[in-house]
Amino acid sequence: MTVEQVDVHNVENNRFIIIGAGPVGLLAAILLVQEKHAAQVTIYEARDGLTTDLHESYPIGVNPRGSRALDRARPDMAIALRMRSSMIDAWRIYAGSRMVAELPSGLVVGTTRSTINEILYEEVCKHFQEQIKIHWSHRLKTLDILERSLIFDVKRPRADEELAQTYEEVTVQGGGARVLACDGVWSVARGFAEKHVEGFTSNVSPWRVQFRLLFSKPGAGKLVPKLEPRYHYVMGGIYLSIIEEDVWVLGLGIGEHLPRQTRELLTATVATPERIAALRAYVTKKAPLAAPFLSAEDLELYFTRKTFGGAMVKVSQLNIGEWAVLLGDAAHSVIPPTGEGFNSGAEDVEVLMEALRLTPAQPFTAYNKMRLPDLHALHNLAIDANESNFGKFGPEKVSRLLATVLVALAKRVGIFSHTWEDLSFGADASPPKTYIEIASVWRWQRIFILPLSRLAIWPIFLLVWLLLSPFRAIFWVITRPYRRVEREEGSKSSFGGRSKAKRI
């Protein structure tokens, strides 16, 4: 085991360690130095280097909340983002080939996570090379509160590519440095706090959906005049948007709301002619405007890409005393339909800067008090979005969908002035509202509308269930002999397999 001593020039609030070189970690490092809260910042990152391949990233929207944080750090970063991305004028929602709704915006920049990361990293390299040091290939293993140290598994170079990858355990003695844990939804720092910090609890709720991306070739979208780059589209559970280099990307949601055969198709990792044809048929049915510009090669490459999921995170506190604090997804991961992933993490950094400015002696305690209630309100929005968008088909999901439609209709006739989506990423998102304000609008609208929706939907489902019950009973009786034969054949097969294994 190797021990590294972090050089602390000025212990008193002048030295920071950041875990994670994602957008939140890099933004925090820049603002710490820019606003003179730190003379030196050291970042430890598990990856081997910056990932800039668009096909390894995913679309995100930077709303006024995120743009404000970028402007505060370095205005040229916000300019670079707008030059490399495009403003989203609205989200258009389709049923088949017909548009059924539109959510205006004009305030959100459509980009990718890798683009944000690249812009921030370029800024570090250009202006902060002396003050911000990044150590790649350092995967956090655990922390030691008593010793104020961090233990990493560090990837070591291989002399031969055929040899197994080796790691060395490295202990970083931080001395009086403060730690910002920006290590993502599956945060090691958060897991450590839950086990070893008295009173710390976390609630981690997995998404009801996973996502997999399908990319077009550059310029392919021009074949479909109806698709406009400044609009994003939601078509049958597929999210369609344009990213850099005039590439359209389809985000396919895969969850229990889909039939089993569809889930098996969308998660398959081997591209056969039958699967490619089935995928084209699926996209044609769900997103008919997108199907024409997808080539056979585009569809084939889909099966080589990873499927990614996540979880919604809620913690009882954000700080571990005055030594460490959780930021970004490590503290409050949400779900894509909220549109607040990067944006909420960027605002974390802004609030932390205010805590450092106002209470330099106890900034993490102050940050926890300032930020936690707002993040709990955001968590409530995420839970509702998870259930409404990706819950299993049934009366509750239909009730939630009907409630969403009724809220939109109520807004159209003037009963409501705006929805929570308007305040988060729609036309009313500037200036940014607190999540408590946004959740309050959502709660008061749903407190009346959702019970009415349930009152309308649940009796219908119950009536249908009662009407179908005799037919289900008849079907069960008719198919019973066949099920018995299948069980007997399965038992024989299993017995034969066990006997054979025993003889061997």
Distance CA 58, CA 111 (A): 9
Residue 410 has pLDDT above 80, yes or no: yes
- The alpha helices in 54-209, defined as continuous H runs, are 64-73, 75-84, 113-127, 188-196
Find residue 213's DSSP bridge partners. 251
Helix pair angle (23-34, 64-73), 10° resolution? 40
More confident residue, 137 or 219: 137
Find residue 16's DSSP bridge partners. 41, 178
Query: In 76-165, at which residue ranges do the beta strands (DSSP E only) sit?
Result: 86-95, 98-112, 132-135, 138-144, 149-156
CB distance 63 to 107 below 8 Å: yes
pLDDT of residue 232: 93
| 118-130: average pLDDT | 95
Reported as a single tens digit per residue, the pLDDT across 334-365 is: 998 888 999 999 999 999 999 999 999 999 99
pLDDT of residue 179: 96
| 300-327: average pLDDT | 95
Reported as a single tens digit per residue, the pLDDT across 164-207 is: 678 899 999 877 899 999 999 999 999 999 999 999 999 999 89
CB distance 367 to 325 below 8 Å: yes
Element containing residue 32 per DSSP (H, E) = helix 23-34
Distance CA 118, CA 112 (A): 10
pLDDT of residue 420: 84
| 308-314: average pLDDT | 93
- Confidence bin at 484 (pLDDT 50/70/90): low
Virtual torsion, Cα 466, 472, 477, 480, nearest 10 deg: -140
Distance CA 73, CA 28 (A): 9
Per-domain boundaries in the chain: 2-87+107-203+312-382, 209-302, 393-504
Fold of 2-87+107-203+312-382: FAD/NAD(P)-binding domain (3.50.50)
The token duo for 162 is 């055929």
Element containing residue 403 per DSSP (H, E) = helix 395-412
Whether the CA torsion 145, 147, 150, 151 is positive or negative: it is: negative
- Which of 233-247, 294-308, 417-431 is most confident? 294-308
Distance CA 330, CA 5 (A): 26
| Residue bearing tokens 């098996």 | 264
- Which of 52-61, 193-202, 236-245 is most confident? 193-202
Average per-residue pLDDT in the chain?
87
pLDDT of residue 56: 80
CB distance 221 to 227 below 8 Å: yes
Distance CA 75, CA 86 (A): 17
| 301-305: average pLDDT | 95
List % helix, strand, coil for the chain (3-state, nearest 5).
50, 25, 30
Contacts of 469 (CB under 8 A, 6+ apart): none
Element containing residue 482 per DSSP (H, E) = helix 435-503
**Exposed / middle / buried, residue 136 (Cβ in 10 Å: 0-12, 13-18, 19+):** middle
pTM to 2 decimal places: 0.87
Residue 163 has pLDDT above 90, yes or no: no
Distance CA 476, CA 482 (A): 10
